[in-house]
A and B are shown apart, each in its own frame.
Chain A
């Protein structure tokens, strides 16, 4: 069953009088439970495609249905509420709030739910346990290594139990060994917890952890490898 369906999706950006075509008539279907790697050179439109699937951006043309919701035309408020329920985001530079402890960072998406303080804390601790950082709950991001910060970011992405994880170069800032640990963790989330993962990466080794890999070039999907 498909969880992401893009039809004839284009995204243009206008800078002054110049129009830059970033994505051009993309058709894409992603099955639920897939682990998809998106590869391609810089400027090929990978992150733009990821932003469209994650409901952070709207296409210039085309239709995007994700997790049973047509995203095109949704208001900013509706999109935010939809993201909170369905999407977990993982960024290259972790994007944790430096003033909050690991637990408080993980708890952030739960502030948008009806859960009480105690339950939020318990859920955050479970997420931290899954990523192997239960003992670092009180640490602030500045007191953690890059790999640990990315684990906290993954815990934050899964704490509200979204169906889809959207990862933008999640290992781009990490050394090989730590990157492998993060990728193993993503694989675990995909295989054991059934999360659909869409990951942008430049790294073929990172892409090898995915079930499928798509290549983008100049805004077009050019080939697919299993």
Chain B
């Protein structure tokens, strides 16, 4: 690329202006890398669910809850092998940024249901035996430095205790791992019986979801329909889906977050587009006589236009590459903080490639008008300026 030194020199002819523009582009693509990676982490949930399990949720709203009395009726539905339940606890451990999912569960039934979760049988016995027992994913325990026997206080926000307190205290009796480490998901489980007895009496007997294992995965759709039919005319109707589908529905709700993220990014990129276009137009205006000189020397209209366009693409490309690289570094630094909520989060090849693609496209869009103006430039008139 013979003309590269010329393009490079032009790019940095006004260093302050170029660096400010570059900084804006870097900030935009840093944001792009972070937001797209977070959206990607949400979407990843869809891929980890099994198809032999069903999830029964309240038909109309996730916050409604379902009566635990549904459990026995679900277990009686033809095609259901086994069923258990879980409840979204919410709550805070020490600081709101220490976010991780917490669920009261039926210990043995839960680990039977999620056979991919590996726990020491003795620890599972303890989990079942001790009313205030809790187990955590090994990753979570490691993150907070928890040891077996530690007492872990959780401040409740959804569920209050019957004695008016919102402080729940659990004894860590074990840790578990997920067979496939790539899909490890930090969570904290404790004994439902203790939770149910201790919570405000008016809220007792309510759970968030039932998990159902079907006898024959090929019959999952029929079983699902039977469960929902069972409760169709009750005051707590259900919506049953495979876990994968339930996750998709959750992701669809998250889709609104995705829309917000995309809206933010669109606004950011539109602003960057105007800012960079303004910079490039100014840069062109300043050197009209120089472009005329190039044409005088024998540079064709097309070649001069290409030089201007390439300058814009180079500016946006450099900004985009730095921004994406910084987002990768930022995600590595923020990873431990975000993983509790989003699971494993990293910048994907798709995000990197689309970021670079958008940066180059931005460069083309921004540089197109100045490039066309440079192409149309009449030498004789321009030399007079």
Contacts and interface: CB of A to CB of B under 8 A. Distances in A.
A168 to B, nearest CB: 9
Contacts of B294: 108
A56 B380 contact: yes
Which residue, of B289, B296, B383, has the highest number of chain A Cβ atoms within 10 A? Answer: B296
Which residue, of B5, B298, B301, has the highest number of chain A Cβ atoms within 10 A? Answer: B298
B293 interface: yes
Interface in A94-133: 95, 97-100, 104, 108-109, 111-112, 117, 120
B9 interface: yes
A77 B290 contact: no
A84 B297 contact: yes
Contacts of A77: 300-302
A173 B302 CA distance: 33
B300 A99 contact: no
Contacts of A97: 6, 9, 290, 293
Contact of A108 (B10, B297, B302, B379): B297
Contact of A111 (B2, B9, B10, B289): B2
Is chain B's binding surface mostly helix, strand, loop or mixed?
helix
Contacts of A91: 293, 383
Nearest to B12: A99
A89 B302 contact: no
A54 B298 CA distance: 11
Contacts of A82: 298
A83 interface: yes
A28 interface: no
Interface in A155-209: 156
B95 interface: no
A99 B286 CA distance: 13
A82 B297 CA distance: 10
A54 B9 CA distance: 28
Interface in B1-34: 2-3, 5-6, 9-10, 13
B36 interface: no
A211 interface: no
A76 interface: yes
A100 B9 contact: yes
B60 interface: no
A80 B298 contact: yes
Contact of A89 (B9, B297, B300): B297
Is chain A's binding surface mostly helix, strand, loop or mixed?
helix
A57 B384 CA distance: 13
A77 B301 CA distance: 7
A51 interface: yes
B84 to A, nearest CB: 72
A78 to B, nearest CB: 9
A99 B9 contact: yes
Interface string B275-301: 000000000000001100111111111
Contacts of A85: 298
Contacts of A81: 298, 300
B300 A83 contact: no
Contact of A57 (B2, B13, B380): B380
Contacts of B380: 51, 56-57
B198 to A, nearest CB: 74
A72 to B, nearest CB: 16
A84 B295 CA distance: 9
B296 A83 contact: yes
Contacts of B296: 54, 56, 83, 89, 95
B46 to A, nearest CB: 52
B301 A83 contact: no
Given A56-B379, A83-B296, A95-B289, A100 B6 contact: yes
Given A97-B290, A117-B2, A120-B2, 15 more contacts: A54-B296, A56-B296, A56-B380, A76-B300, A76-B301, A80-B295, A81-B298, A84-B297, A84-B298, A95-B296, A95-B383, A97-B293, A99-B10, A104-B9, A112-B297
12 contacts: A56-B380, A57-B380, A80-B295, A81-B298, A82-B298, A83-B296, A91-B383, A104-B5, A108-B294, A109-B298, A111-B2, A112-B298
Interface of B: 2-3, 5-6, 9-10, 13, 289-290, 293-302, 379-380, 383
